[in-house]
Structure 1
Amino acid sequence: MSISNWAFLIFLLISANCSLVLSTSDPINQQKLDQVTTLPGQNFNVDFAQYAGYVTSNEESGRALFYWLTEATEEPASKPLVLWLNGGPGCSSIAFGMAEEVGPFHVNKDGKSVYLNPYSWNTVANLLFLDAPVGVGYSYSNTSSDIMSNGDKRTAADSLQFLLNWLERFPQYKGRDFYLTGESYAGHYVPQLSQAIVRYNKANTGSPINLKGYMVGNALTDDYSDHVGLFQFMWAAGMISDQTYKKANELCDRESFVHPSRECDHITDVAYQEMGNIDPYSIFTPPCTVNGGTKRLLRRWHKVGHVRQSYDPCTEQHSIVYFNLQEVKNALHAYHTSRTWETCSGVVGQYWQDSPISVLDVYQELISSGLRIWMFSGDTDAVIPTASTRYSIDALNLTTVGPWRAWYEDGQVGGWTQQYEGLNFVTIRGAGHEVPLHKPKQALTLLKSFLTGTSMAPFEQVIESKTSESQQVSDI
């Protein structure tokens, strides 16, 4: 080993030891150690602070979760804290949420630089990304068996402990309005973590976590509803045969999405074969091509989509290059992982333990607790389609308090919405599985409405707004 490499290793060891000491004695100094000044390939300045690093979620096993905080672009002290989670199980929130969806930094085609996302959610909130559970992204455990023993319950417990420890490091966020958001298998993570927080707060007066609500998109919610809606969507869109549609409904009734029977797994494969080589996560956009050929998309639903605003279906490939660069790991203080960085961990997904067939009971508990709960759905997703979410909501038997209607963005229909007692549902027209990727402006509008608790703009508001603008011009 060269002298320069020895020096760098010593620097890392000193930094790690300092982090351990300062994290328990001086949170402000620990924040400084976590501060990210600039990213490799960032040829522009930003007007917000950002931090990244590790927070221990279990001392005994040595489990540590990787986070990345990008504070609000304006008046961060007055803005809420929003946590974003991706699903899988086994997919990185840095890979998708940050790098191609709601984060301020998206990865360029060269895989070596980033550009600024004008519709980043940190324009209205302090935005926190978390790679959970261990084995996902940069998160790790000193106990190797932990990577093959993840499940819903431990993920919720570790994420709760992460938040409590993170707030000790960032005490300025204690008591701040806090919201959870996410998509896909985060349809389990988000309500389960919300439930854990609500129960913790009941048992611990003066809790630092001021949870106000949560919002999930194209979310796995109830396996029966999700299967029925999936095959119905495929059949109605003309992508599968009558025979496969009938057989799928017979074989996948009450089946688990994570651990389906062999028969259900087989007929689902048949359905995706009949669909052809299209992106099931965004059925009207072409798939990624690699080396002049078409990259065959895997049927496995935990692999999230691959298209973005400027339409580059190979976005995931760029992130794989970027987040494996050593200089990127150094900039983000990701010193504790030697394995190759992956967008989704096949090992975590393969060995996933507990996964309830439904989280509707969690919804019932949290609706009664008074949380603000929103569900949204991109309507061109053939993985967890709009029909699936509507069936899940219908199973809750909620009272309708606002009729089904269109909402508008820039004078055009942005989607549809319906309000229930305790829950709000919004669809986004033309968006796939990753709504903020396909419709970033509409997704930001959605977040603004969610945070303020206001309904999506009806056509009347669009007319009033344009009339007001015209009047102002005429007055001038």
Structure 2
Amino acid sequence: MKIMASLMYLSLTLLLLLHITGRAAATVEEEAAAAAADRIVSLPGQPKVAFRQYSGYVTVHETAGRALFYWLTEAQSQPLSKPLVVWLNGGPGCSSVAYGASEEIGPFRINKTASGLYLNKFSWNTEVNLLFLETPAGVGFSYTNRSSDLLNTGDHRTAKDSLQFLIRWMDRFPSYKGRDVYLTGESYAGHYVPQLAREIVHYNAHSKHPIKIKGFMVGNAVTDNYHDNLGTVTYWWSHAMISDKTYRQLVNTCNFRQQKESNECESLYYYAMDQEFGNIDQYNIYAPPCNNSDGSTLAAGATTRHHMRLPHQPRRAFRPLSGYDPCTEKYAEIYYNRPDVQKAMHANTTRIPYKWTACSETLNRNWNDTDDSILPIYRELIAAGLRIWVFSGDVDSVVPVTATRYSIAQLKLHVTTPWYPWYIKNQVGGWTEVYKGLTFATVRGAGHEVPLFKPRAALQLLRSFLRGEPLPKS
């Protein structure tokens, strides 16, 4: 009887193991199939490349039907040995596909007729695997089936959904589990990136399958309401964009700690933008603006002081320019609304009832949850041992270098390497100071989107950041 019982127990054990193994094999096959379905064969008008690309949707909330869109461009060489860098654009409400991927750090640029693509030799996928995420739902191709989500979103949900995206995306691409992960972004991603990093750290504390986050890097980052706003009007005055009188009125009238300013303060802002700034691109005050056909610009004055702003106002018309092209959003909005492009990218599969735009004004106007300051998160993540870099293009007047310096100063960090100029191709690329727990760097002559204006310098920032090394002194 003992022998029979043992045989029965062995048989049951084998059956159970076969069942578990079968389920595991099925899961692996399902994940492989899902990843294969996301493979981009080629984009319309794309030059031939050797690296692989994937794009598609990951559902982050079944009940609401929220799904976030991503685009992965693997490293150009040895992708299995390279880390994963996740890029987020800000707004709130702006697309990482429109900006990060298409005019900053991605492998392709869109030509002026939006008929095709050409290569960006300073693409960050020369160094890493690049994952562009359109977050929150309602940005770009990301969507929700619960329309109220578009009228009631903010920092908290964005961070939670982005974490859920990463967890489920790594289930679809298991080769990235255990890989070093870095978060990067700019502008209002000064909120998104540290908030997501904190969510990951908290998730890792109780997870059997932690995400191997090593650090984050943000540029021209919205950080702290009071110091950002004080730094912004100071920049305007110090760069002769406004009069002494307007500067004094702004400082004496506005309460920079408030989310919503008084009517008197708002009037001063609009007066400065409309009457004193002149026809400039606020995102690079020394670059030519993208003009409408009548010679006027689409006023960045639509952006308001309290950072419920659109850092990338769509610009409708363009004129031929040499060098920097301030009208690149226009090309993206044509290209990504092409049905053949959407088909190639497995995008808009649910037929979203609005056209793809670089930024969602609906989300931006209905952003109902925002942190007054990200500095407490910095303190927590410095203590957690994450590598943290903050960089700033120094000719941006929207989230200017003075704002970032005022904010960082509030952390009162110990200086380990005093201020010095760093170099790229024998020229000063900017200036930097290293603190215990954080590195700050400026990029000389760069606007709000640093990699757009100074792509070679931005790539050097990435390389030094990944190595955990100071920027080159010569």
1:80 aligns with 2:95: no
Q: Counterpart in 1 of 2:470?
A: 455
Shift of the 316–71 alpha-carbon distance from structure 1 to 2, 3 Å rule, reads: same
- Aligned residue type for 1:404: W
1:304 aligns with 2:312: yes
> Secondary structure, in 3 states, of the residue corresponding to 2:300?
coil
Equivalent of 2:158, from 142, 150, 155? Answer: 155
1:38 aligns with 2:51: no
Shift of the 269–255 alpha-carbon distance from structure 1 to 2, 3 Å rule, reads: farther
Cα distance in 1, alignment partners of residues 28 and 49 from structure 2: 30
1:167 aligns with 2:170: yes
Equivalent of 1:341, from 335, 340, 356? Answer: 356
Shift of 1:268: 1.7
Q: Counterpart in 2 of 1:470?
A: none
Equivalent of 1:365, from 354, 371, 380? Answer: 380
Gap regions ≥5 residues in structure 2: 1-25, 304-308
Q: Counterpart in 2 of 1:284?
A: 286
- Aligned residue type for 2:272: A
Shift of 1:289: 2.0
> Secondary structure, in 3 states, of the residue corresponding to 2:86?
strand
Q: Counterpart in 1 of 2:245?
A: 243
Give the TM-score of the pair, scaled to structure 2: 0.89
Shift of 1:253: 2.8
Aligned pairs for 1:300-449 within 5 A: 300=303, 301-304=309-312, 310-334=323-347, 335-336=349-350, 337-449=352-464
> Secondary structure, in 3 states, of the residue corresponding to 1:327?
helix
1:193 aligns with 2:206: no
Q: Counterpart in 1 of 2:15?
A: none
Equivalent of 2:141, from 128, 138, 142? Answer: 138
> Secondary structure, in 3 states, of the residue corresponding to 1:267?
helix
Bigger radius of gyration, 1 or 2? Answer: 2
1:255–1:264 Cα contact (<8 Å) kept: no
2:70–2:134 Cα contact (<8 Å) kept: yes
Shift of 1:394: 0.4
2:39–2:52 Cα contact (<8 Å) kept: yes
Shift of the 260–151 alpha-carbon distance from structure 1 to 2, 3 Å rule, reads: farther
Q: Counterpart in 2 of 1:18?
A: none
Cα distance in 2, alignment partners of residues 248 and 53 from structure 1: 46
- Aligned residue type for 1:303: P
1:304–1:433 Cα contact (<8 Å) kept: no
Q: Counterpart in 2 of 1:17?
A: none
2:230–2:256 Cα contact (<8 Å) kept: no
Shift of the 23–127 alpha-carbon distance from structure 1 to 2, 3 Å rule, reads: farther
Cα distance in 2, alignment partners of residues 23 and 109 from structure 1: 44
Shift of 1:269: 1.5
- Aligned residue type for 2:269: T
- Aligned residue type for 2:427: Q
Shift of 1:265: 2.5
Cα distance in 2, alignment partners of residues 264 and 398 from structure 1: 33
2:90–2:188 Cα contact (<8 Å) kept: yes
1:133–1:139 Cα contact (<8 Å) kept: yes
- Aligned residue type for 2:399: I
Deviations 1:2-36 (CA, angstroms, capped at 9, x unpaired): xxxxxxxxxxxxxxxxxxxx989611111110000
Q: Counterpart in 2 of 1:265?
A: 266
1:303–1:344 Cα contact (<8 Å) kept: no
Cα distance in 2, alignment partners of residues 255 and 264 from structure 1: 13
- Aligned residue type for 1:352: W
- Aligned residue type for 1:333: H
Shift of the 374–276 alpha-carbon distance from structure 1 to 2, 3 Å rule, reads: same
> Secondary structure, in 3 states, of the residue corresponding to 1:424?
strand
- Aligned residue type for 2:310: H
Shift of the 57–250 alpha-carbon distance from structure 1 to 2, 3 Å rule, reads: farther
Shift of the 226–39 alpha-carbon distance from structure 1 to 2, 3 Å rule, reads: same
Cα distance in 2, alignment partners of residues 408 and 216 from structure 1: 20
1:309–1:437 Cα contact (<8 Å) kept: no
Give the TM-score of the pair, scaled to structure 1: 0.89
Cα distance in 1, alignment partners of residues 193 and 385 from structure 2: 16
1:283–1:380 Cα contact (<8 Å) kept: yes
Shift of the 114–260 alpha-carbon distance from structure 1 to 2, 3 Å rule, reads: farther
Which stretch shifts more, 239-248 or 393-402?
A: 239-248
Shift of 1:296: 2.7
2:337–2:355 Cα contact (<8 Å) kept: yes
| Length, aligned pairs only | 435
2:223–2:404 Cα contact (<8 Å) kept: yes
Deviations 1:277-296 (CA, angstroms, capped at 9, x unpaired): 10010000110023362323
1:108–1:115 Cα contact (<8 Å) kept: yes
> Secondary structure, in 3 states, of the residue corresponding to 2:205?
helix
Shift of 1:63: 0.3
Cα distance in 1, alignment partners of residues 253 and 332 from structure 2: 37
> Secondary structure, in 3 states, of the residue corresponding to 1:137?
coil
Cα distance in 2, alignment partners of residues 344 and 101 from structure 1: 16
